Amino acid sequence: MAQPIRYGIIGCGSMGREHIENIKMIDGCVVTAIADDNAASREAGQALLPIPAQLFDNHHDLLAADLCDALVIATPNHTHRTVLVDALASNTHILIEKPLCTRIEDCLELVHAAKGRSGMVWVAHEYRYMPPVSEMIRMTHGGAVGTVHQVAIREHREPFYPKVGNWNRFNANTGGTLVEKTCHYFNLMDLILKEQPVAVFASGAQRVNHLDESYGGRTPDILDSAYVIVEYPSGARALLDLCMFAENSVDNEHITVVGDEGKIESLLPSMTLRYGRRDDWGKREVWGQTASSGKGVSVRRVWDTSIKYMGNHFGASYVEHVKFAHAIREGLAPEITLEEGLRAVATGIAAHRSIDERRIVALSEVLPAGW
């Protein structure tokens, strides 16, 4: 029998604890160490484990203890660079939560520091593993809609949840909402289109949320709504529609992929996939013919029966951990690389700059030459 993979969890807030729940469900994986400077978070993580882990109040001591084959880093965004630089000094396998970092300079430093390591580094952009999204990507890449010209992602949801110390109320800590939250969607756009963006135009603001809150005399400055248009070299475009004061949504996430031959839609949490081809409907030949009848559109629910823990991401984190553990055992490369994590951050930073300066921002303004 293979030796178990020993995990260390660095950062045991809500996401760190979700990682523990997923690891518990995978055969041959065990959490042996937890590090968090907040005692309540450490104890909350420990309470989830059938076998107690060794607890540390800082990541330095956890790394020095040599108890782990793999690390999960789920600390606040603005600490990622410091923790990951230290973790990269070993060859331990690493799963780093999104966003990779809050600044491009830090992301570039980490990409460089990781070169030559035997341990892999995997960025946790797990949205691609949500069952209907995964099926949408599979179908799209299989030619189901022909050449893709448009991707539209709408997330209408609740405000950001409270975090320990309220660190997520300020752009200086999060990188800004379009880095902290929607880097997931920018990564999905790149994956679906198999391209890297060239320009961004965005409009957004803080309109409703957190305006009546104060922390140490400071009012939160994180935006709660935005539209972002992302342009790609082929001429394809992607649109993000984000609203974080829309709790009364039926499906809070709606992803649409449109090609010259058809259209696919993924809806969550209903786990719905809608798909139709233009030829099945009958291309418009007579003016007045409606395009909204649903003719030729199939509707089905999509689920992955191998998922043992749904969590807060519709089973995507579980699938990611299964793949991460498999890659460790088989010596495979990560499915989601540091470079991908960097590009998702870059698009978010470009979007914030576009909002601030009210103009189109080229990715070449954010990334150095060669990227």
- How does residue 284 score in pLDDT terms, banded at 50, 70 and 90? low
For residue 104, give its domain range: 5-124+314-336
pLDDT at 151 exceeding the cut of 90: yes
**What is the DSSP secondary-structure string of 346-363?**
HHHHHHHHHHHHTS-EEG
pLDDT 10s digits, 221-246: 999 999 999 999 999 999 999 999 99
Residue 295 is predicted with a pLDDT of 67
**Alpha-carbon distance 245 to 183, whole Å?**
19
Q: Is residue 217 a part of any domain in this protein?
A: yes
Is residue 279 pLDDT above 90, yes or no? no
- Percent residues over pLDDT 90 in the chain: 91
| Residue 37 binned pLDDT confidence (cut-offs 50, 70, 90) | very high
Of the chain, the percentage scoring pLDDT greater than 70 comes to 96
Q: For tokens 């409606």, name the residue.
A: 290
Residues 100 and 161 occupy one common structural domain? no
Averaged confidence pLDDT in the chain? 95
Regarding whether 240 and 352 lie in a shared domain, the answer is yes
- Assess if residue 370 is contained within a domain: no
The CA distance from 57 to 60, in Å, is 9
Residue 294 has pLDDT above 90, yes or no: no
Residue 368 falls inside a structural domain: no
144 and 194 part of one domain: yes
Backbone phi and psi for residue 237, each to the nearest 5 degrees, phi listed first: -135, 150
In tens, the pLDDT along 65-123 reads: 999 999 999 999 999 999 999 999 999 999 999 999 999 999 999 999 999 999 999 99
Q: Is residue 42 within 8 Å of residue 11, measured between CB atoms?
A: no
Q: For the domain that residue 21 is a member of, what is the CATH number? A: 3.40.50.720
pLDDT (0 to 100) of residue 72: 98
Say if 366 falls within a structural domain. Answer: no
* Number of domain units in the chain: 2
pLDDT > 80? residue 285: no
Shared domain for 84 and 150, answered yes or no, is no
Is residue 88 domain-shared with residue 193, that is, in the same domain? no
Which value, in Å, is the radius of gyration of the alpha carbons in the chain?
Answer: 21
Q: What is the residue whose two structure tokens read 């409270």?
A: 162
Residue 363, domain member (yes or no): no
Residues 211 and 299 in one domain: yes
362 within some domain: no
pLDDT band per the 50, 70, 90 thresholds, residue 2: confident
User: 249 or 70, which is more confident?
Assistant: 70
Q: What is the pLDDT of residue 280?
A: 75
